[in-house]
Amino acid sequence: MKDLKAALAEHRLVAILRSADASRFADAGVVLHAAGIRLLEATLTTPGAPAAINALRLALGEDALVGAGSVREASDVDIAVDAGARYLVTPTVNPAVLERADALGVPVICGALTPTEIDQAWRLGAAAVKVFPVAAIGGVAYLRAVRAPLPDVPLVPTGGVHLADVESYLRSGAIAVAAATPLLGDALTPAGSLPDLATRAGEFVSAASRFKTA
């Protein structure tokens, strides 16, 4: 698989797996992969996430890039890497996390919100910066506003990204978008519908594919 930044630019979409438990992560991951989604993030706040990361990698193979989300501490970096995570996603800017990830050679999508935080994350070595929670602070208009003075920083809007938003974010210069509930719906719950997930995933991939790089 290409490096993280290149994968984001190529596929334009990250699926965030977050639930009360990780028992359905592998099943949902297979459906997402079949629809064309190649970057998946399993959040460490979900009980059982480390084992699920390993299961996802075994189920999807090297064609997928499986990462760990909600990485907040340096110790989380070790947990995620030991589980086989190929990249890390943070909700905040913690220099200790970026330093530990760099020492282990694992790329990070670092969470940030303000222009100062975004610039700090980038200067600390993030492969890309997750603008979170983007919908709560102005959505596409906010992304455009912060991208204007920071055009060199690859931005991944996250938090409340719906299907109808995908094209607007990518057209406004985001390298990729990340989606959780609007994409996963109830698929991670015991009674959730995987066929419905397949439909939503196909729609998200179709929207994102209009902006794939050559």
Could you read off the pLDDT of 114-173 as tens digits, one per residue? 999 999 999 999 999 999 999 999 999 999 999 999 999 999 999 999 999 999 999 999
Q: Say which of 5, 41, 62, 167 is annotated catalytic.
A: 41
Type and span of the H or E element at 104: helix 95-104
Give the span between the Cα atoms of 112 and 149, in whole angstroms.
Answer: 15
Q: Which CATH number describes the domain made up of 4-208?
A: 3.20.20.70
What phi and psi, each to the nearest 5 degrees, are found at residue 93?
-95, 105
Residue pair 79/53 in contact (Cβ under 8 Å)? The answer is: no
- Give the pLDDT score at 211: 77
3-state secondary structure 110-149: EEECCHHHHHHHHHCCCCEEEECCCHHHCHHHHHHHHHCC
pLDDT below 50 — which residues of the chain?
1, 214
Dihedral sign (CA 93, 16, 29, 18)? positive
Q: Say which of 130, 167, 203, 212 is annotated catalytic.
A: 130
Annotated catalytic residue 99: no
- Give the pLDDT score at 210: 86
What phi and psi, each to the nearest 5 degrees, are found at residue 206?
-60, -45
Residue pair 97/68 in contact (Cβ under 8 Å)? The answer is: no
- Give the pLDDT score at 197: 98
Residue pair 164/177 in contact (Cβ under 8 Å)? The answer is: no
Annotated catalytic residue 41: yes
- Give the pLDDT score at 214: 38
